[in-house]
Amino acid sequence: MNVQRSDLFVGMFLVAMVAVVVAALVATSGWGTDRYDIFVRTSSAQDLTVDTKIFLQGLEVGRITAINPRPTGSAGQLEFILRLSLLDRFPDGTPLRLPRGTVAQVVQSSPLGGSQVQLTVISDSGGTLAPADTISLSRGGSVLDAFGALARDLKGTIEATLVSATTTMNAFKVLAESLSVATGTARRFIVGVQPGTEKLLAGVTTNLESVRGLLDSTTTRSGVTMRQMDLTLAASRVLVQRLDSLTRLFIAMGGENRPEINAMIVNFRRMSEQLQYILDQVGRRPMRLITGVRIPDTLSASRSDSAWRARQLPPPAPLDTTRTPAPAPARDTAHVPTPTPPPAGALRAPRDTTRRPPSGTLQPAPAR
């Protein structure tokens, strides 16, 4: 009884396994799905086998169901007719209709091998492909061919890069040699001019120190000279002011029209004007103390004397011969002091025997 049950279970398991396999075959083979066939004419069936997948923009839409060779007109030449089984509808029920400008292209699915057929719409010439229509087949480049082309391109690029790098290295080598030569020349030039340059710099340093000392001493002397000039000018102005006061005093005393006093007043006034002119010129340009000051003609002795006399002295009255001169007034001697004789034994002042210049002339100043 147990043996019979075991056999029953084993039989049921085998039947279930066969049913699963049959269902998988039905699901994978597309049984029960509406399809239609189109044909492809090609001169080579390389990399194509029965059950090769067919894709439309990356979506699987069918497979190759048959490859049939057929002789052509040339001896020994064959052409192949491929039967493509395409889906009639997509899973959502949308019908699959290909334009008449559709072509098939064989491409490599992976670098390790395997091919697939890509349906590509080149142009829309109007209408769609009907069952049993024939389209053309082309072959795209394989992955190995692409790698080969890439390798060839890389080889050319690397060769050009190496040639350019070699040329650049040679140029750098020539430049380095030129820099070495230029550096050696510059070094020899610097070594040659170094002693002269050091001497020149030492001389320039000495000259600069000398110029600095000269400027310092010149500054000090200039300050002292300017202070002395300021003091001299101040003393001269005080002297001029005193001379002006003395001149005014002499003018006041000149009312008696005495010739000696008038001449002395003229001389003092002329000296005052000339000294004032000299002080003004020196105040404007101190260097004239060294170069000298020229007295203009307007301040000369003859013109200033005649002009001053014309301003000060009245014209002489005409001589009246009809009248007799009045007697001179008697001199009052009551108030005239009597000179006292010097005491006995007193020293007398020596008599000045030097010759005096006539009154009215300008005496030169003593040399300093």
Cα 247 to chain centroid distance, Å, stands at 74
Same domain (yes/no): 36, 132:
yes
Of the given ranges (77-81, 121-125, 352-356), which has the lowest mean pLDDT? 352-356
Which is higher by pLDDT, 191 or 320? 191
Question: What's the pLDDT score for residue 165?
Answer: 92
Same domain (yes/no): 230, 133:
no
Which is higher by pLDDT, 261 or 17? 17
Question: pLDDT at residue 50 above 50?
Answer: yes
Q: What angle do CA 238, 244, 247 make, to 5 degrees?
A: 140
The number of C-alpha atoms within 13 Å of 256 and in the hemisphere containing its C-beta is 6
Question: pLDDT at residue 155 above 80?
Answer: yes
CA dist., res. 294 & res. 300, Å (int)? 11
The answer to whether residue 19 is domain-embedded is: no
Question: pLDDT at residue 337 above 70?
Answer: no
Provide the mean pLDDT of the chain.
75
Q: Give the pLDDT band of residue 329 (cuts 50, 70, 90).
A: very low
Q: Are 106 and 139 in contact (CB under 8 A)?
A: yes
Query: Among residues of the chain, what percentage have pLDDT more than 90?
Result: 7
CA dist., res. 198 & res. 116, Å (int)? 89
CA dist., res. 72 & res. 54, Å (int)? 26
The answer to whether residue 196 is domain-embedded is: no
Q: Give the pLDDT band of residue 29 (cuts 50, 70, 90).
A: low
Residue 89 β-bridge partners: 95
The answer to whether residue 23 is domain-embedded is: no
Question: pLDDT at residue 338 above 70?
Answer: no
State mean pLDDT over 19-42.
78
Question: What's the pLDDT score for residue 171?
Answer: 92
With residue 150 as reference, give the H or E element that holds it.
helix 143-253
Picking from 312, 329, 358, the residue at the C-terminal end of a domain is: 312
The answer to whether residue 54 is domain-embedded is: yes
The answer to whether residue 327 is domain-embedded is: no
Q: Are 106 and 47 in contact (CB under 8 A)?
A: yes
The answer to whether residue 148 is domain-embedded is: no
Picking from 140, 170, 200, the residue at the C-terminal end of a domain is: 140
Question: 9, 117, 130: which is closest to 63 by C-alpha?
Answer: 117
The answer for residues whose C-beta is within 8 angstroms of residue 312's C-beta and 6 or more apart is 254, 262
The answer to whether residue 64 is domain-embedded is: yes
Question: 86, 118, 115: which is closest to 102 by C-alpha?
Answer: 118
Residues 278, 284, 287, 288, Cα dihedral to 10°: -20
Q: Give the pLDDT band of residue 143 (cuts 50, 70, 90).
A: low
266, with CB counted inside 10 A (0-12, 13-18, 19+), is: buried
Question: What's the pLDDT score for residue 161?
Answer: 92
The answer to whether residue 321 is domain-embedded is: no
Picking from 79, 111, 140, the residue at the C-terminal end of a domain is: 140
Question: What's the pLDDT score for residue 305?
Answer: 53
Q: Give the pLDDT band of residue 1 (cuts 50, 70, 90).
A: low
Question: pLDDT at residue 323 above 50?
Answer: no
With residue 239 as reference, give the H or E element that holds it.
helix 143-253
Question: What's the pLDDT score for residue 158?
Answer: 92
Number of independent structural domains in the chain: 2
What domain range includes position 260?
A: 225-312
pLDDT digits (tens, 9 = 90+) for 200-259: 888 899 899 888 888 888 777 777 777 878 888 888 888 888 888 877 776 776 555 567
Residues 244, 281, 299, 314, Cα dihedral to 10°: -30
- DSSP codes joined into one string, 268-300: HHHHHHHHHHHHHHHHH-TTHHHH--PPPGGGS
Could you tell me the pTM of the whole model? Answer: 0.36
